[in-house]
């Protein structure tokens, strides 16, 4: 398998390099490959951020931890400077997924009140899943807040896995907490991680307005 282009690799690794330099641990790069350091950065920060939310879920008994947080955490530390990894896209993307998921779930329930409790594949579940995912994708494109993990969030809700309104609020709070953690960690790494929206987003908006 061919190695990635040096320029592309350096761009992807820049936040790890900055962190190592800031902490006066440059000797690490003389003993370990940049790929290993990058893997450690993603792995350690994923463990810390998700671990904190898991503990919060354990103590509170509330769904502060749910499957689609995993890919969001991965994006925050694997490609933190991408537009899809910005706080704006993560917060709004999951919010859209929650709204569309609950809307599809409520619609399915109105036609088949017991559909979440039925095992296997059935028409209300198929319609809820398809409707929620299509609506989520369309709205993320419409509002310019693409965040792929939101597609998993909307399915979790539309299929009735988590569907209580109060739990949906907690899920969005968990997304905000994860986003704040990623902001703190990536800024500590010396990366100009955006406070809200990526520089690419801001440039696109200014060009469209011009």
At 33-59, the pLDDT tens digits run 677 877 888 899 999 999 999 999 999
Is residue 30 predicted with pLDDT exceeding 50? yes
Q: Determine, yes or no, domain membership for 203.
A: no
Is residue 65 predicted with pLDDT exceeding 80? yes
What's the pLDDT at 119? 61
Q: Determine, yes or no, domain membership for 207.
A: no
Q: Determine, yes or no, domain membership for 83.
A: yes
Number of domains in the chain: 1
Range of the domain at 48: 7-195
Q: Which residue has the higher pLDDT, 4 or 88?
A: 88
Q: Determine, yes or no, domain membership for 209.
A: no
What's the pLDDT at 19? 61
Task: Quote the pTM value.
Answer: 0.82
Q: Determine, yes or no, domain membership for 19.
A: yes
What's the pLDDT at 206? 44
What's the pLDDT at 188? 85
- The DSSP annotation for the chain comes to -PPPPHHHHHHHHHHHHHHHHHTT-TTHHHHS-HHHHHHHHHHHHHHHHHHHHHHHHHHH-S----TTHHHHHHHHHHSTTSGGGSHHHHHHHHHHHHHHHHHHHHHHHHH-TTGGGS-S--HHHHHHHHHHHHHHHHHHHHHT---TTHHHHHHHHHTTSS--HHHHHHHHHHHHHHHHHHHHHHHHTT----SSS-HHHHHHHHHHH-
Which of 4-8, 125-129, 158-162 is predicted least confidently?
4-8
What's the pLDDT at 120? 61
Q: Determine, yes or no, domain membership for 205.
A: no
Q: Determine, yes or no, domain membership for 204.
A: no
Which of 23-27, 82-86, 115-119, 168-172 is predicted least confidently?
23-27
Q: Determine, yes or no, domain membership for 54.
A: yes
Is residue 205 predicted with pLDDT exceeding 50? no
């Amino acid at each position: 398998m061919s190695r990635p282009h040096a320029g592309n690799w350096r761009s992807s690794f820049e936040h790890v390099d900055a962190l190592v330099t800031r902490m006066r641990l440059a000797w690490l790069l003389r003993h370990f490959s940049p790929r290993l350091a990058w893997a450690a950065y993603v792995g350690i920060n994923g463990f810390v951020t998700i671990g904190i939310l898991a503990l919060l879920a354990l103590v509170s008994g509330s769904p502060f931890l749910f499957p689609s947080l995993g890919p969001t955490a991965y994006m925050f530390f694997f490609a933190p400077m991408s537009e899809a990894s910005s706080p704006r896209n993560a917060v709004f993307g999951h919010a859209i997924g929650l709204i569309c998921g609950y809307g599809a779930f409520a619609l399915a329930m109105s036609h088949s009140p017991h559909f979440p409790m039925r095992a296997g594949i059935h028409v209300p579940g198929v319609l809820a899943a398809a409707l929620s995912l299509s609506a989520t994708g369309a709205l993320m494109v419409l509002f310019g807040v693409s965040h792929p993990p939101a597609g998993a969030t909307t399915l979790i809700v539309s299929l009735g896995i988590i569907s209580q309104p109060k739990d949906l609020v907690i899920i969005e709070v968990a997304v905000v907490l994860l986003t704040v953690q990623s902001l703190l960690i990536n800024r500590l790494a010396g990366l100009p991680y955006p406070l809200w929206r990526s520089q690419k987003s801001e440039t696109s908006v200014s060009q469209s307005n011009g």
